[in-house]
Structure 1
Amino acid sequence: MYRRSEPEEQGLRLETRYRRLRSGGGSLLDLVPTTDEEEATVLEERRTSSRAVDLPPSPPVLQPRPATVGEWLPRLQLLGEIGVDDVILWLRDGVRWIVIAVVLCVAAALAYALTASPRYTVYTDIVVDPSNLNVVSDDVFTSNPQRDAQLLEVESKLRVLTSRNVLARVIDKLQLTKDAEFVRPSPLDFLKDLFLSDADQDADKHLAVMRALTERVEARREERSFVVVMKVWSEEPEKAVVLSDAIVDAFETELFQSAAESAGRVAQNLNARLDELRRNVTAAEKKVEDFRRSSGLQSSNGELVSNQLSSELNTQVLAAQQGFIQAETRYKQMRLAIAQKQTASASVFESANMTSLRQQYNALQQQVGSMRLTYGDRHPRLVSARSEQTTLEAAMNEEARRILERAKADFDREQAALDALRNKARAEKSNVFTDNEAQVELRDLERDARAKAAIYETHLARAQQVAERQQIDATNVRVISRAMPPNSRTWPPRTVILLIAGGILGLFVGVAAALTLGAWKYVRGPRPAAG
């Protein structure tokens, strides 16, 4: 018949007592074996040893079996059966660890409260408008109306607020490299004095102050607005306010200097371009004048002299032609009057002598008529009058021929003048055609010169405008809330709060340590035997 071995029975008894303890029907003392049980155990060992003599010997073990997790932690599988009584027992056993943890954490909190450097934080609200002030109509910098672009502009300026350039200005202005709050003494300072030069030491101090100041400054943008909140802390409340104001001033200066430097680069590039444009304009204008001189083009009041001269010659030709026609007509009328012997009555012969002769001839003709009626045709006085009349006719004819010769001379002169003017007009007309052809090329050169001059004048005006723009601060940054000295420190908290927090932390640490130690002892306990 099968009989349980002693370890198995002992394990079953322990397991039965443990279950009874879990169900609330027993106590922890039930787990301790009684005297009867010990005697029964001893008798059972003797019987087992006596039976073991008759059993055949076991085969030898060829190699040692490696230890398993169950041998190291025999009660690991019973972790799920841990109850409240076990936890209470573990906490009761670990009270000293809980007290030690609480005392240590409270002492550490008190030491930190007494030795920690205080922090006083101030806040500054700044409105960073992405659209700069519209100082001039066509500014160097253009504003983008899109909201995403405006937010990017604000974020960029927010990054400038905490940039190294701004912080470097603050360090130089406030001389923070000489401030003990930012430059902590180090035991290795004497070694630095031995191996580093003054310039290297200053650079190291500046870098250390830069790092310290970077950790003390923080800026963020409020949601759905262009307001930037800058937070600065220091070990002294007044110094925190001074740092905040200095950073704001350095930020505005950096923005203005950045805009001025950008405008300066634009002006420098424009000035460099102006020299070339000036040379181009000078060369174009010189080319125009050289071409005008080589082509013999002269202008007056915006019109070529050849055109004006040709126009005047045409006017003179017309006037000479009219004079020639008049002289020709008068000459022909005189010749016809002389041929028809009408010199005495023709009005074309006009002169003072002719007028006097006509008056005498008319008066003598009246006398001759009267005498003919009175004395008859043979009267001596009538004969004498007729002889005088013939003399007057001969004189008028002579005067008419003299007037005719003068008219002929006028006619010849008018004809010669007309021919000369016509020849000159024809010659000037050819010059006009030549000048007009040259004028086409001249206009092309003038257009090129005017275009280059316009570009040069535009760049010149723009360069002067940009140069003046360097002196104008158009950044639209306003401080709406200046930093105020804080009433209390922001870190560390008050000593009472630190002590309470240290006590709570110590309590948690102690409880965790007690529970961990109890669980470890539990899983390391003896392994129950199988029934």
Structure 2
Amino acid sequence: MYRPDEAGKQKPSQPAREQRAPAERGSLLDLLSPDLDEPAKADERAAERSSGTPGVQRVEAVAPLPAAAVPRGSYFPGMNDLGRIGIDDLIGWLRGGLFWIALAVFLCVAAALAYALTATPRYTVYTDIVVDPSNLNVVSDDVFTSNPQRDAQLLEVESKLRILTSRNVLSRVITRLRLTEDPEFVKPSALGSLKNLFSTKTEQKAGDELAAMRALSERVEARREERSFVVVMKVWSEEAGKAVTLSDAIVSAFEQELFQSAAESAGRVAQNLNARLDELRHNVTEAERAVEDFRRRNGLQSTNDGQLVSNQLSNELNTQVLDAQQRAIQAETRYRQMNDAIVQGRTASASEFESVNMTNLREQYNVLQQQIASMQRTYGERHPRLVNARSERATLEAAMADEARRILDRAKADMDREQQAFAALRAKASDEKSNVFSDNEAQVQLRDLERDARAKAAIYETHLARAQQITERQQIDTTNVRVISRALPPNSRSWPPRTIVLLAGGAILGLALGIGLAVTLGLWRFLRGRGPAAV
């Protein structure tokens, strides 16, 4: 507490301090430094301790120094008494700043009410999407491969998450919902009509699209849940229904973008394959033409089973040569047997001589031979009928001999013909065998050309089938993206909070600001030496 005797104790030291003041005004550090004498401070503390009354609680407050007691060389004379500030000082400062506290509370509550009445409402909706990194297994040998490692899968999900809020997706939404014509996204400005006078329609359209893109990107936010492939997308708008429409449109555009991205990638692969197919087709054509030209130059003809005609002809000639040789041997054997039968006189009984005349002559000869045997037993050896019969037998034997010689001549002619045919076929087979050897040597080169043509044809067919498969793959959507929780219209706005909450917050903020202002003003007066009187 402030005591009158302290002023008396401080007065004797005032002249000396006033004498030092002119010398101390020249430095800012001197103004801020304490200039009370240490003995005076010691006397003041001793007087404060001696004036205490046992059993009675003293409440002290720093009193402002009289104008004559304020040192003229100090800008903050109360700096040395900061440690003496107590609860009573703070209460006094708050009591003295009640006006400022009330004013701050009133202004903050009024500002909160004005903001609640004028702020643009926001309605936020949420959509849960499962982004599976593995695409649907529609094609067994797909263009895109899936990585089973979890880190790679998370990177795939993060990449698709970035696509969800990309400009391509948002541009699809802007075009589909015609957001460039929505005042919420493209706000008209005071200078807008003036700018339109000096810009073309293309520039105006580009500017509106850019403004709508900025506004829409600020309203969309997506994040991935921890330890899952679930992506939560948050979209807000000034209208609840529009927020739901925006969310559904973004999900649809996201699915279309993924499908188009996969289709474009497959299209690029198919285009590269088709460009390669022309060269492969040319190579296959040239290889097959080289095979046919080589066949034509070397006279190589193949059968349906792939065998050369020369080989087949040589095999047939060998078979014919064997048959001709067998026939020639049979004809020669028959001729020799006939010749031996004629030499041995076995014309009538030899079976080699077979003909119609020989058969008739043999029958007549046998009948006559029986008649002669019967006549010999009946008439004797000299009977005229027996002599006539023997004469007829001799005639038949001569006729059979003549017939046998004719058959022998015919057999000899057959033998000669068969031998000639055998010789001709053997010569032809020999010639054909030499052709086979030359054809086999040429066929070695032919097989090499055919292998090259088959390899090029296989590569061409593989690329052709793959190109057609990838072309068809462009029409199939294999992206594995599912919406597990669609956006629903919110029951209340997400921003600003309710009016009562805003007013309460404004009151609390105003109270805090008022208290801070009151304490600041009180502290300022204390430092300036004009603290509140003792309570």
* TM interval, short-chain normalised: 0.7 to 0.9
Check conservation: 1:17, 1:31, Cα contact below 8 A. Answer: no
Q: 1:54-453 to 2 correspondence within 5 Å?
A: 73=76, 75-76=78-79, 78-302=81-305, 303-372=307-376, 377-378=381-382, 380-453=384-457
Instruction: Give me the whole-angstrom Cα distance separating, in 2, the residues matched to 1:246 and 1:339.
Output: 120
Check conservation: 2:61, 2:85, Cα contact below 8 A. Answer: no
Letter in 2 for 1:159: R
What secondary structure is seen at the aligned counterpart in 1 of 2:484? Answer: strand
Check conservation: 2:266, 2:471, Cα contact below 8 A. Answer: yes
Q: Count residues in correspondence.
A: 491
Instruction: Give me the whole-angstrom Cα distance separating, in 2, the residues matched to 1:393 and 1:273.
Output: 94
Q: TM-score, normalised by structure 2?
A: 0.83
Letter in 2 for 1:268: Q
**Offset of 1:119 from its aligned partner?**
0.8
Provide the residue aligned with 1:52 in structure 2.
none
Provide the residue aligned with 2:33 in structure 1.
none
Check conservation: 1:364, 1:389, Cα contact below 8 A. Answer: yes
**Offset of 1:143 from its aligned partner?**
2.8
Instruction: Give me the whole-angstrom Cα distance separating, in 1, the residues matched to 2:166 and 2:47.
Output: 73
Q: 1:486-505 to 2 correspondence within 5 Å?
A: 486-505=490-509
Q: 1:208 to 1:31 in 2, by over 3 A?
A: closer
Is residue 464 of structure 2 the alignment partner of residue 460 of structure 1?
Answer: yes
What secondary structure is seen at the aligned counterpart in 2 of 1:299? Answer: coil
Instruction: Give me the whole-angstrom Cα distance separating, in 2, the residues matched to 1:384 and 1:310.
Output: 64
**Offset of 1:233 from its aligned partner?**
0.9
Q: 1:289 to 1:212 in 2, by over 3 A?
A: same
Letter in 1 for 2:403: E
What secondary structure is seen at the aligned counterpart in 2 of 1:300? Answer: coil
Instruction: Give me the whole-angstrom Cα distance separating, in 1, the residues matched to 2:57 and 2:104.
Output: 33
Check conservation: 2:361, 2:399, Cα contact below 8 A. Answer: yes
Identity of aligned residues (%): 71
Instruction: Give me the whole-angstrom Cα distance separating, in 1, the residues matched to 2:410 and 2:466.
Output: 75
Is residue 479 of structure 2 the alignment partner of residue 472 of structure 1?
Answer: no
Check conservation: 1:21, 1:27, Cα contact below 8 A. Answer: no
Instruction: Give me the whole-angstrom Cα distance separating, in 1, the residues matched to 2:444 and 2:237.
Output: 79
Q: 1:350 to 1:115 in 2, by over 3 A?
A: same
**Offset of 1:488 from its aligned partner?**
1.2
Is residue 13 of structure 2 the alignment partner of residue 6 of structure 1?
Answer: yes
Check conservation: 2:61, 2:88, Cα contact below 8 A. Answer: no
What secondary structure is seen at the aligned counterpart in 1 of 2:144? Answer: coil
Letter in 1 for 2:455: A
Provide the residue aligned with 1:48 in structure 2.
none
Check conservation: 1:17, 1:30, Cα contact below 8 A. Answer: no
What secondary structure is seen at the aligned counterpart in 1 of 2:266? Answer: helix
What secondary structure is seen at the aligned counterpart in 2 of 1:219? Answer: strand
Q: 1:32 to 1:519 in 2, by over 3 A?
A: closer
What secondary structure is seen at the aligned counterpart in 1 of 2:285? Answer: helix
Q: 1:25 to 1:383 in 2, by over 3 A?
A: closer
TM-superposition CA deviations, 1:37-86 (whole Å, max 9, x none)? x9xx9xxxxxxxxxxxxxxxxxxxxxxxxx9xx95555545434433233
What secondary structure is seen at the aligned counterpart in 1 of 2:282? Answer: helix
Instruction: Give me the whole-angstrom Cα distance separating, in 2, the residues matched to 1:188 and 1:118.
Output: 26
What secondary structure is seen at the aligned counterpart in 2 of 1:486? Answer: coil
Instruction: Give me the whole-angstrom Cα distance separating, in 1, the residues matched to 2:268 and 2:374.
Output: 117
Instruction: Give me the whole-angstrom Cα distance separating, in 1, the residues matched to 2:242 and 2:271.
Output: 41
TM-superposition CA deviations, 1:220-258 (whole Å, max 9, x none)? 222233222211111111221221122122122222222
Letter in 2 for 1:400: A
Letter in 2 for 1:293: R
**Offset of 1:379 from its aligned partner?**
5.0
Instruction: Give me the whole-angstrom Cα distance separating, in 1, the residues matched to 2:428 and 2:249.
Output: 88
Instruction: Give me the whole-angstrom Cα distance separating, in 2, the residues matched to 1:457 and 1:261.
Output: 24
Q: 1:11 to 1:95 in 2, by over 3 A?
A: farther
What secondary structure is seen at the aligned counterpart in 1 of 2:488? Answer: coil
Instruction: Give me the whole-angstrom Cα distance separating, in 2, the residues matched to 1:369 and 1:114.
Output: 162
What secondary structure is seen at the aligned counterpart in 2 of 1:126? Answer: strand
Runs of 5+ in structure 1 lacking a partner? 42-66, 527-531
**Offset of 1:524 from its aligned partner?**
4.5
**Offset of 1:489 from its aligned partner?**
1.0
RMSD over aligned Cα atoms: 3.1
Instruction: Give me the whole-angstrom Cα distance separating, in 2, the residues matched to 1:344 and 1:207.
Output: 128
**Offset of 1:333 from its aligned partner?**
1.3
1:485 aligned residue (485, 489, 500): 489
Q: 1:29 to 1:519 in 2, by over 3 A?
A: closer
TM-superposition CA deviations, 1:405-444 (whole Å, max 9, x none)? 1111111111111111111111122222222232333233
TM-superposition CA deviations, 1:452-498 (whole Å, max 9, x none)? 33333333333233222222222222222222221211111112211
Once structures 1 and 2 are overlaid, which stretch shifts more, 374-383 or 466-475? Answer: 374-383
Q: 1:176 to 1:371 in 2, by over 3 A?
A: closer
Q: 1:354 to 1:188 in 2, by over 3 A?
A: same
Instruction: Give me the whole-angstrom Cα distance separating, in 2, the residues matched to 1:523 and 1:476.
Output: 71
Once structures 1 and 2 are overlaid, which stretch shifts more, 111-120 or 510-519? Answer: 510-519
